[in-house]
């Protein structure tokens, strides 16, 4: 009788444990009513084409992290427009390219002068936001990570070229990425395969490295010919058919998530899957991924245009109030054609919280592109704010065997 009682008690414990595990394995299964926009999106995933990747981080006695992955509707074969998120790997790869040159005097702060030799191209001989008024790889990276500057991305794209960018991403195991065009420049797919001549100079103006115009012979395209919407505007003309994204960038959610994880925890990836940059370069990237616009002197970004959450969507959304100092978000966002994206490593130093989250949502009820009628304010930004808050609250309640030691992430801004 006593044995049966023990067995019944054991079975009850196992049942409770499995029930808790089942709930834990699906954080998106039952969203509370206190998150109305998040709940609406989760319940209507096809309408919003939502995908989410959430990674819990657990530490051992040596502070070594391990991951536990959760996803909602993840589908790396489902095309969405990645917008400015492609700038993050290009910024990191510019530092990898720099290290490979092994040329005396060539650094991230060397003057980088971009010329133009085709009608579609534009030169860049100075930069009004730099302390010395001259462009450089380092300054372009700052502008990309602080406020997602399009011109800064274009200059690094022109430096690296399509072959280098796409081959490097493939080598590192990110097989759902195609980067094949500049941003905010009306340029054909053919013109996007030409890359401006570039000259690197020292402080005295002496040439360190001259790079001629180049062209890729390869064609990087989305072979499944993805189309979005039912209509779009082109030069003020309404084209009543879906917009073709065959020659647009692709950056699947798991690849964006993977880039953020590789820059935060490179030691958890095989050497060939990491970005081959120095520790100094890695900390430089992390510093500007997490820096708020107002914390930068050069380039300088002032209120009211550049508030703390200008490019920090999780938890804070479009809140114009200062982000409390206990939080740091190492991330890259994107916003175009009705898509809103954010790939983040979220940290709360006061409560020893850390997690990764990457998501994309599509808000375009009328299915017309380029009409500036998207539900960003009504749906997209509140979705990210509520998703960030929801996961943050889960992490506050989550019991961890070892608290993370996050001191090395506390940087001098």
Mean pLDDT score of the chain, rounded to an integer? 94
With beta carbons less than 8 A apart as the criterion, state whether 49 and 340 touch.
no
If one counts the domains in the chain, the total is: 1
- pLDDT (tens digit per residue) in 221-248: 999 999 999 999 998 999 999 999 999 9
Q: Percent of the chain at pLDDT above 70?
A: 94
Q: Is residue 242 part of a domain?
A: yes
The pLDDT value recorded for residue 309 is 96
pLDDT above 90 (res 173)? yes
Q: Is residue 363 part of a domain?
A: yes
Q: Is residue 143 part of a domain?
A: yes
pLDDT above 80 (res 3)? no
- pLDDT (tens digit per residue) in 32-78: 999 999 999 999 999 999 999 999 999 999 999 999 999 999 999 99
Q: Is residue 8 part of a domain?
A: no
Length of the chain: 413
The pLDDT value recorded for residue 14 is 33
Q: Is residue 6 part of a domain?
A: no
Q: Is residue 18 part of a domain?
A: no
Host domain of residue 185: 31-409
Q: Is residue 19 part of a domain?
A: no
With beta carbons less than 8 A apart as the criterion, state whether 288 and 92 touch.
no
Extended strands (E) in 229-326 = 231-234, 237-239, 243-244, 250-251
CA of residue 263 relative to chain centroid, distance: 11
Q: Is residue 3 part of a domain?
A: no
With beta carbons less than 8 A apart as the criterion, state whether 93 and 275 touch.
yes
| Residues ≥6 apart with Cβ < 8 Å to 350 | 326
With beta carbons less than 8 A apart as the criterion, state whether 162 and 181 touch.
no
Tell me the sheet residues that pair with 231: 368
The pLDDT value recorded for residue 25 is 67
Q: How are the residues of the chain apportioned to helix, strand and coil, as percentages rounded to the nearest 5?
A: 35, 20, 45
- Ramachandran region of residue 22, left (φ > 0), alpha (ψ -120 to 50) or beta? alpha
Region 10-14: what's the mean pLDDT?
Answer: 36
Provide the 3-class DSSP secondary structure of residue 319.
Answer: coil
For residue 26, name the pLDDT band (cuts at 50, 70, 90). confident
- For residues 305 and 323, give the distance between their C-alpha atoms in angstroms, rounded to a whole number: 15
- For residues 187 and 331, give the distance between their C-alpha atoms in angstroms, rounded to a whole number: 28
Q: At which residue do the structure tokens 């989250």 appear?
A: 357
Neighbours of 372 (CB within 10 A): 7
CATH number, domain containing residue 294: 3.40.710.10
The model carries a pTM of 0.93
Give me the sign of the Cα torsion angle 185, 188, 243, 312. Answer: negative
* Of 57, 16, 155, 56, residue with least CA distance to 97: 155
pLDDT above 70 (res 17)? no
With beta carbons less than 8 A apart as the criterion, state whether 298 and 131 touch.
yes
Pairing mode, if any, of strands 368-369 and 231-234? parallel
Pairing mode, if any, of strands 51-59 and 65-72? antiparallel
pLDDT above 70 (res 347)? yes
CA of residue 320 relative to chain centroid, distance: 22
């Amino acid at each position: 009788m006593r044995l049966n009682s023990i067995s019944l008690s054991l079975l009850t414990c196992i049942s409770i444990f499995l029930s808790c595990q089942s709930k834990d394995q699906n954080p998106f299964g039952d969203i509370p009513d206190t998150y109305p926009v998040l709940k609406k999106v989760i319940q209507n995933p096809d309408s919003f084409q939502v995908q989410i990747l959430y990674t819990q981080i657990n530490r051992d006695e040596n502070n070594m992290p391990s991951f536990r992955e959760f996803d909602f509707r993840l589908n790396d074969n489902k095309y969405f427009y990645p917008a400015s998120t492609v700038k993050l790997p290009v910024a990191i790869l510019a530092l990898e390219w720099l290290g490979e040159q092994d040329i005396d005097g060539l650094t991230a702060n060397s003057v980088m002068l971009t010329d133009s030799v085709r009608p579609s191209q534009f030169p860049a001989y100075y930069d009004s936001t730099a302390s010395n008024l001259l462009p450089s790889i380092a300054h372009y990276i700052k502008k990309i990570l602080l406020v997602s500057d399009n011109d800064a991305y274009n200059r690094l794209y022109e430096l690296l070229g399509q072959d280098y960018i796409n081959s490097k991403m493939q080598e590192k195991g990110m097989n759902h990425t195609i980067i094949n065009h500049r941003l905010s420049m009306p340029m054909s797919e053919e013109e996007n395969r030409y890359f401006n001549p570039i000259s690197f100079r020292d402080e005295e103006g002496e040439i360190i490295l001259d790079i001629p115009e180049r062209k890729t012979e390869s064609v990087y395209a989305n072979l499944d010919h993805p189309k979005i919407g039912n209509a779009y505007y082109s030069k003020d003309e309404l084209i009543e058919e879906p917009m073709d994204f065959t020659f647009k960038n692709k950056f699947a959610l798991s690849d964006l998530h993977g880039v953020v994880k590789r820059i935060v925890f490179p030691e958890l990836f095989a050497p060939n899957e990491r970005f081959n940059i120095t520790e100094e370069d890695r900390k430089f990237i992390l510093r500007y991924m997490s820096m708020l616009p107002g914390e930068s002197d050069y380039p300088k970004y002032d209120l009211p245009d550049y508030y703390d959450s200008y490019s920090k969507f999780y938890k804070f959304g479009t809140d114009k109030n200062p982000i409390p100092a206990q939080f740091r978000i190492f991330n890259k966002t994107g916003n175009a054609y009705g898509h809103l994206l954010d790939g983040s490593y979220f940290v709360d130093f006061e409560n020893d919280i850390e997690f990764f989250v990457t998501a994309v949502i599509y808000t375009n009820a009328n299915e017309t592109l380029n009409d500036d009628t998207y539900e960003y304010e009504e749906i997209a930004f509140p979705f990210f704010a509520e998703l960030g808050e929801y996961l943050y609250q889960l992490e506050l309640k989550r019991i961890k065997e070892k608290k993370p030691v996050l001191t090395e992430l506390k940087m001098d801004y």
